[in-house]
Structure 1
Amino acid sequence: MTTPEFRSGFACFVGRPNVGKSTLMNALVGTKVAITSNRPQTTRRAIRGIVHRPDAQLVIVDTPGLHRPRTLLGERLDSLVRGTLTEVDVIGFCVPADEKVGDGDRYIARELAQVKGTPVVAIVTKADKVGPQQLAEQLMAVNALGDWADIVPVSAVGGLGAQTGQSARGGDGPYQLDVVADVLTGHLPEGPPLYPEGDLTDEPEQILVAEFVREAALEGVEQEVPHSIAVVVDEMGPRPGREDLTDIYAHVFVERPSQKAILIGRKGARLREVGTSARKQIEAMLGTRVYLNLQVSVAKDWQRNPKQLRRLGFYD
């Protein structure tokens, strides 16, 4: 009996903003490597999460939501997604089960049809939010969008119909997460592992820290603020003589003074909440106690300013 060949390679998730791409990647990796939020354009970088299996190593690239850009930042995020599509072995096109297929989905389907030689798997996310009948209808609607290599329904957070009460599976854990991993892995080429065993991401710790701060800042802020938030870690390292304590100094940038006031809150209350929430996640990642110092500054119209975009880490 021959031993199955080991497979390794890259998959990327694409889709409209806020369709569950980051949540799905975190669930497949088994830990949080990408921030999540109900705000569009939460993901701004191509973040890689590594799935280790006995027969394969699947490297998932989570990308920003593909959309028609309205700012220079949007154009660069769009370019990032398109560049990623040409570099992976398989593409996962994510469409949520609980929203009718719309113009945004059709736009992305047309874009994916132009990608030659790379299989595209249609992934219907958030299956926990619908019952079996609605899911079946959505699968047919997604099937009609293009010629997909496979179509897989999935829920990263709960069983099929968990939020509708229409299935006995509701609430018993993720639904078909293993099937998504199997299908994506099946499209990878044979080859050795690309990362050491135990690595879950190749993102630098400072980038992950900045993302955790941004995620905390996104919670509960006014509608005008989310897209305008960017975070840069200025300094990070163990406190001298204290290996159990990491000092982190970071800047949160917004575009207007009014946004700065919203983020800081009355007598600094909102900013303290952001720091407390972010610190918990950072401490869990680093395994040490954390002193987190946050400063809020205004970088006027940074989403449209090439110089400011470079300063904040968004390069051409």
Structure 2
Amino acid sequence: MTSPRPLSSVPDQPARKTRWTDAELMAVQFPEPRWAVPGLLCEGLNLLAGAPKLGKSWLSLGIAADIANGDPALNSIEVERGPVLYCALEDTGRRLQRRRRQMLAHGGRPSAMLTLETASPTMSHGGEALLVDWLEENPHARLVIIDTFAKMRGSDPVSSSAYAADYAAAARFKTIADHYSVPFLLIHHVRKQGAEDFQSLVSGTNGLTGAVDATLVLERGRGQADGVLHITGRDVEETDYAMTFDARSGAWTLLDGPADDHLLNDTRSAINRFVREHPGTTPAVIADALDLKPTTVRQTCTRMAKAGQLHPAPGGTYHPPKPSDSADTPEVSQLSLCHSTDADQGGHQ
């Protein structure tokens, strides 16, 4: 950490209007939210969770460098250039340097707008002031990343319930993020046991996911994807991003098109794509168009419908899935598509 210096005090919440008549509310012109990465990271408090060694730190450091340079995030999404603070609290300067050198040796660029910090006090013992100090010095900041949340949250009050403690710990970061209208990203871990709802994978209680503005979960991918980023939040649409990972450069890259196309096995992916382009089609038409065995297509469509990947309609036709389809099949999460089966690989005629 840099040499000790006087730190700014945490600012009081500004007085703001909190009550309107209905007519007054409709007449207010609120500013649009600020995005670090459009469609991915919005102003407020964001939480990124994933299993150890899956690449969360590579992902967050890569996004930090992209924004600091004004380069497309994930090699795809245009961003506005600006200062970024990356707190790599589980790294030493040597490890962080090695990681950055690896990135720079394979197409990355250095940036004077990227601040790298490897130590910080917990939030209740000076961490809040450290963040405020940097934000005051960088009024056009685009993103603050805390890697990891556990290293900076500090101890919980003895009398607090687990839910209240998680909520209060996240709220400390959210207060600062909201005051400066800057996106914050907390890096966190997932539970060891699985869960149907990707938000339930996040380690801790619902107090944590309830306090943040958006939850992102990085899971190991299937098919063509090395990873899948599930996202839900107050200002972001619930969606999935399929990505590939380049171990040489440490770079995550967004794959084109819907995540389903990259997660399903080849047969399901082809059927899914055809039905999306030709809604209301039958297995016979699909089999003829894709040169697949009719029995394979019929059986696969049935399995996909049960998994919420297709929507069956009267007359034996199939449509793209409706948002409510997955709710009828709790054994399969809409965001964790089932693995392929041998029966799906029925082959060509």
Q: TM-score range by the shorter chain?
A: 0.3 to 0.5
TM-score (norm 1): 0.34
TM-score (norm 2): 0.32
Q: Which has more radius of gyration?
A: 2
